[in-house]
Chain A
């Protein structure tokens, strides 16, 4: 009896609650909503990457494209295919076309510096992504290169302590790029604290796996007791991994990159001991958020000085789990 009573009470209570719910569902307008959408409709976002077709730029573009479609903005990509000249031309013509926001991925610290200043003077919000130039524009979104250089070098120092040869090599990409100069600074910071570590080689592979392979083979020939390699980009460091594998020695290779599935696969295979990743889709989301911020703030171009460093993600055999990395292939399909 008492149980039935309880059920009845609950049923009555629930039906009342439902009615109350229906009453309050009449809705309240959000006064900011209309303005929010009006801010974005018809705006143009232009993106000048170093090149399309690599995991980083494809990842960022996919997030930005989704945001633009959702908010009724135009999203344009000018792909200079690794040519700084073509990129400079693209930016020059964009300055006269006046998009509302210009997102730039710099090939090095100098090439676009003056153009970015001119773009901001022309009233275009400039957001720099991952590779910065000497000119500080409204926003920088991207990896904290010095931090990544420190983390990578520390990871190698940890593996090459007493009892090993303590010999390490650094494999840079392109020394004039914004990423390399930062990572090198980070490496120097750590090496200064560890005088016992011997830096036996510091060479540039020009982002090319084939060059990386022959450099690291030569370094291993020269220093058969090499303990570790600090690589500056996972795509290039596949060549270094091949050279290490061929030597048959156990040499630690720590790299950094966009955290694409390839990185997880190679950490799992043992080709990389560790990757310090800057998750690309999160950077894409940060870019999209910054597009909202500069447009919503209503401030003129060049007034904001915002920096967002992507929190690094450490990929090792211990941290591996499904979904840790993202897949560039899945974006394409």
Chain B
């Protein structure tokens, strides 16, 4: 608690928000067309999948867990759904099977961590390889699965509009809102904070920590499946190779950048939104400026490093954190 109070005035969230606002103002002033409504929708749309997965990850990191399998579940469950639909299975059934696959991977994660007591880092790292390997071996024979014509009925999930706003943005808003309400107003939500802050104390005071851990991973798998279907329907295909990409780091980055400490117990959905927007503004601005690919990577990592350096200068690590350690 002491640590949180001392963080008061200049939290990392505020620093990142400030950087995001500064970039936003600079781009608005100097880049033609950046500030147009169409471009702003494109900007948020481009990072909404990242944001949705970030919300799923935030649930876990706040409770001092982590899900390295989230991208594998996201890619493979959606890919299997498309593959089944390609093979003639009806769309609702294919989606149900795909979702059950995602859910069982999530529950298995939770059981391994809560009951077998394997550290989350290792359990989910193993699960990521297992989900990917098993699905590639037994369920989805090809790397890239295309959406069949029969699935045009669900194309709106990732490619539709409601009142001019692309559906992925609305899903991001919905997931963020539900996530916020869950963490703020429900008993399990409050207990996730307690577990992240001091797991032993939460357990001794009677919190059902094991079922809650299973619930957390089930929720993150559910969110991963939703994000997977959004991506799959938005580009009419699912590339299972994203499992091997840097996407998992991008998700953790969005969470940590926004100010949810890996040591748990701190932060909320707002932090994920701030982190996601900073990444979105950066990517969009650099695309408009037509900056060369390698230079883009340099600039992106530089700005992220700057945010982290400012945070560690403004908020030096205190004794409580160094004793607990990050993940």
Which A residues are closer than 8 A to B by beta carbons? 51, 53-55, 58, 81-83, 172, 175, 200-204, 206, 208-210, 212-215, 217-219, 221-222, 235, 238-239, 241-242, 245-246, 262, 328-329, 332
Which B residues are closer than 8 A to A by beta carbons? 32-33, 36, 38-39, 42-43, 45-47, 49, 136, 141-144, 146, 159, 166, 231, 234-237, 239-242, 244-245, 283-284, 287-288, 290, 292-294
* Chain A CB within 10 Å, residue with most, of B142, B144, B235, B240: B235
Query: Is there contact, CB below 8 Å, between A214 and B283?
Result: yes
Shortest beta-carbon distance from B148 to chain A in Å: 10
21 A-B pairs (CB sep. < 8 Å): A54-B142, A54-B143, A55-B142, A175-B292, A175-B293, A201-B287, A208-B242, A209-B237, A210-B234, A210-B235, A217-B46, A218-B43, A218-B46, A221-B33, A221-B38, A221-B42, A222-B32, A238-B237, A241-B236, A242-B159, A246-B159
Inter-chain contacts of B42 with A (CB < 8 A): 214, 217-218, 221
Shortest beta-carbon distance from A90 to chain B in Å: 16
| 8 Å CB contact of B39 from A83, A209, A221 | A221
Inter-chain contacts of A55 with B (CB < 8 A): 142, 144
Shortest beta-carbon distance from A223 to chain B in Å: 9
Query: Is there contact, CB below 8 Å, between A82 and B36?
Result: no
Bound-state CA distance A82–B246 (Å) is 12
Inter-chain contacts of A210 with B (CB < 8 A): 49, 231, 234-235, 239, 242
Q: Sort A-B residue pairs by CB-CB distance and give the 3 closest, nearest first.
A: A214-B46, A53-B143, A204-B293
Q: Given A203-B287, A218-B46, A332-B141, does the pair A213, B234 have CB atoms closer than 8 Å?
A: yes
Bound-state CA distance A262–B283 (Å) is 30
Bound-state CA distance A329–B140 (Å) is 11
Query: Is there contact, CB below 8 Å, between B288 and A238?
Result: no
Q: Given A203-B287, A222-B33, does the pair A332, B293 have CB atoms closer than 8 Å?
A: no
**Chain B residue with Cβ nearest A203:** B287
Bound-state CA distance A214–B287 (Å) is 9
Inter-chain contacts of B245 with A (CB < 8 A): 206, 208
Query: Is there contact, CB below 8 Å, between B36 and A221?
Result: yes
Inter-chain contacts of B240 with A (CB < 8 A): 53
Bound-state CA distance A238–B235 (Å) is 6
Query: Is there contact, CB below 8 Å, between A217 and B45?
Result: yes
Bound-state CA distance A203–B288 (Å) is 10
Bound-state CA distance A238–B234 (Å) is 10
Query: Is there contact, CB below 8 Å, between B143 and A262?
Result: no
Q: Given A214-B46, A222-B39, does the pair A172, B293 have CB atoms closer than 8 Å?
A: yes
| 8 Å CB contact of B241 from A51, A172, A242, A329 | A51
| 8 Å CB contact of A218 from B234, B239, B284 | B284
Inter-chain contacts of B294 with A (CB < 8 A): 175
Query: Is there contact, CB below 8 Å, between A215 and B234?
Result: no
Query: Is there contact, CB below 8 Å, between A215 and B287?
Result: yes
Inter-chain contacts of A201 with B (CB < 8 A): 287, 290
Bound-state CA distance A164–B14 (Å) is 47
Inter-chain contacts of B38 with A (CB < 8 A): 221
**Chain B residue with Cβ nearest A212:** B235
Bound-state CA distance A206–B283 (Å) is 14
* Chain A CB within 10 Å, residue with most, of B33, B42, B136: B42
Shortest beta-carbon distance from A183 to chain B in Å: 14
Shortest beta-carbon distance from A109 to chain B in Å: 15
Inter-chain contacts of B47 with A (CB < 8 A): 214
Shortest beta-carbon distance from B51 to chain A in Å: 13
